[in-house]
């Protein structure tokens, strides 16, 4: 199963909206930044923290880049 399909099925299962393709790409980018600048296990935790913030993904990706470059 492709990642996008799994995420869509998971979203339906838990009763939330499926991310758009742009949102999916931004989430992958956020996870990549977290993994590159820290232990790879930071990637899923960073996405969880991002989701709790309810901020726009582009803003969160910028914030992750700032944290990574500091």
Taking only the tens place, the pLDDT of each residue in 8-18 is 999 999 999 99
pTM of the model: 0.83
Q: How far is CA 8 from CA 4, 34, 38, 70, in A?
A: 6, 23, 28, 35
Residue 14 included in any domain: no
| Distance from the first to the final alpha carbon of the chain | 37
Residue 25 included in any domain: yes
Residue 6 included in any domain: no
Question: 30 lies in which domain range?
Answer: 20-69
For the stretch 41-61, pLDDT in tens is: 899 999 999 999 989 999 999
Res 49: pLDDT: 92
Cα 15 off chain centre by = 18
Span 20-31, mean pLDDT? 93
Structural domain total, the chain: 1
Residue 54 included in any domain: yes
Q: 70 pLDDT band (50/70/90 cuts)?
A: confident
């Amino acid at each position: 199963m492709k990642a996008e399909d799994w995420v869509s099925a998971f979203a339906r299962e838990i009763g939330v909206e499926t991310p758009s393709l742009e949102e999916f790409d931004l989430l992958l980018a956020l996870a990549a930044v977290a993994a590159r600048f820290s232990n790879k296990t930071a990637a899923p935790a960073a996405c969880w923290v991002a989701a709790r913030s309810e901020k726009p993904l582009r803003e969160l990706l910028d914030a992750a880049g700032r944290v990574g470059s500091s």
